[in-house]
């Protein structure tokens, strides 16, 4: 299944029957893109979704603003800018930092939803 830019993409493309199911699929697909490991410390326990730019500071729910993160890193980071927080961690690595930057700058959605071509048949 494709990774859509937001839970609304799953609902729009009818992969689910409810908003709750759409959010679950969206979160699971993001975790799978990060190999079910925390983007910061590589932990595989208590995985959550972290907003790189917190929603309280104007961050969106698009895939370019959320990453797979363990609960401990998510709570520790809080509302701190991610680079400022990550540079001060003992598990900091340039490779992971670049991977996160690539994720942020990566898939820019051209269309929020996928449209299937239609045939207009006139009788």
Based on the fold, state whether residues 46 and 28 are members of the same structural domain.
no
Based on the fold, state whether residues 29 and 46 are members of the same structural domain.
no
Question: What is the rounded distance in angstroms from the CA atom of residue 42 to the CA atom of residue 44?
Answer: 6
Based on the fold, state whether residues 59 and 14 are members of the same structural domain.
no
Tally the domains of the chain. Answer: 2
Q: For residue 110, what pLDDT is reported?
A: 47
What are the tens digits of pLDDT across the range 41-51?
A: 989 999 999 99
What are the tens digits of pLDDT across the range 23-64?
A: 888 888 889 989 999 999 989 999 999 998 888 888 888 888
Domain membership of residue 115 (yes or no) is no
Predicted TM-score (pTM) above 0.75: no
Domain membership of residue 120 (yes or no) is no
Domain membership of residue 93 (yes or no) is yes
Question: What is the rounded distance in angstroms from the CA atom of residue 35 to the CA atom of residue 32?
Answer: 5
Which residues span the domain enclosing 28? Answer: 1-33
């Amino acid at each position: 299944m494709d990774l859509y830019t937001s839970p609304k993409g799953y609902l729009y493309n009818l992969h689910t029957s409810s908003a709750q199911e759409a959010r679950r699929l969206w979160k699971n697909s993001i975790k799978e893109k990060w190999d079910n490991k925390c983007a910061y410390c590589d932990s595989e326990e208590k995985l959550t979704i972290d907003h790189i730019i917190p929603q309280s500071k104007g961050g969106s729910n698009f895939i370019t603003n959320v990453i797979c993160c363990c609960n401990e890193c998510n709570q520790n980071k809080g509302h701190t800018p991610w680079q400022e927080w990550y540079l001060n961690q003992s598990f900091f690595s340039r490779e992971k930092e670049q991977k996160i930057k690539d994720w942020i700058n990566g898939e820019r959605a051209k269309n929020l939803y996928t449209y299937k071509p239609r045939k207009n048949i006139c009788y």
